[in-house]
Structure 1
């Protein structure tokens, strides 16, 4: 009798422990979903912001006439990163397309050296605070680079869709999930979760692939 009670008590402890672990993994799934959701929104926002400037849809477009270009390494860059990554800073004078915006102390980060006198198509993201200040911000515009950021924009949709799925169902795509994928997928089909997830991830995958390919071949 005592042995039977001991066995029953042991099973009760096991069930309680399994319940605690299950609830912990359920919360972990939703916490992971929140992380995916926030990461997706951040990636999409960053891709749209950078892509809009590089495509010339935001900011002030103009021409930067190069005076000099030099390689500028970050102070904390390692030897390997110095060898593989060569950030080049070109300085010169900027004139907007309408002629109203001018900056004699403009500078832009580029991927190759240009000879003095070269005219670069740039986008002014922030105007200088004063006529004699050199704190204006510029990016070298071009649709080839813009499409790569648009690929990141759509890639954020994939993370967002995964985040919605995990938040709504408690499914954790990492480790031992309390909710199986089949059960989570079935639960998502009872409302609008599944169409939202399919649409978001589908548009994200197609958009990212098309944007990457267009940017690669442009």
Structure 2
């Protein structure tokens, strides 16, 4: 009799432990979904913001006449990153397209050096706080750059869709999951979750692919 009670007690403890582990992984799944959701929203917002300025739809359109360009690498940059990434800062004078705004302390981050006197098409995202303040914000314009940013915007939709799925279903996107993918997907089909997730991921993948493809031909 004592042996039977011990077995029952052990089984109850095992079930309790399994329940705790299951709830922990359920919370982990929703936490992972929240991370994906927030990352997707940030990526989409960033892509839309940068893309709008690169396309010339926002800010003040103008020209920056280059005086000098400097290349600077972070102190902790590796040799490979130094070779593949060239953070170039070009300084010069900005004149708005309508001629109403000028900035002798303008500077913009670009991907290559330009010779002195080169005129760069830029957008002034933020005007200087005073006539001699070097704190204005400029972005180089170009539809090729704009379409790449729009690709990032749509890429954020994919992360957002995954985040919604994991957040609603509790499916853990990494590690051991309390809920299997098949069970989570079946449960998502009972409401509007599956359609919303498929829509966001589908639009995101197609939009990102088309945007990056267009960027190579404009």
Shorter chain as denominator, the TM-score bin is over 0.9
- What pairs with 1:105-120 in structure 2 (closer than 5 Å)? 105-120=105-120
Output the CA distance in 2 between the equivalents of 1:11 and 1:79.
57
- What pairs with 1:4-153 in structure 2 (closer than 5 Å)? 4-153=4-153
Output the CA distance in 2 between the equivalents of 1:176 and 1:91.
52
Gaps of 5+ in 2: none
Output the CA distance in 2 between the equivalents of 1:74 and 1:183.
47
78-87 vs 55-64, which moves further: 78-87
Cα displacement string for residues 39-64 of structure 1 (whole angstroms, at most 9, x for unaligned residues): 11111111111111111111111011
Output the CA distance in 1 between the equivalents of 2:43 and 2:109.
22
| 1:70 Cα deviation after fit | 2.1
Output the CA distance in 2 between the equivalents of 1:162 and 1:79.
35
| 1:26 Cα deviation after fit | 0.8
69-78 vs 189-198, which moves further: 69-78
| 1:78 Cα deviation after fit | 4.4
**TM-score for both structures, normalised by structure 2:** 0.94
| 1:72 Cα deviation after fit | 2.5
Output the CA distance in 2 between the equivalents of 1:181 and 1:78.
39
1:99 partner SS: coil
Maintained 8 Å contact 2:37/2:160: yes
* Aligned alpha-carbon RMSD (Å): 1.4
Output the CA distance in 2 between the equivalents of 1:191 and 1:60.
46
Gaps of 5+ in 1: none
Output the CA distance in 2 between the equivalents of 1:161 and 1:86.
34
Maintained 8 Å contact 2:88/2:112: yes
Alignment coverage as a number of residue pairs: 218
1:158 is aligned to: 158
1:202 partner SS: helix
The runs of at least 4 consecutive aligned structure 1 residues that moved more than 4 Å come to none
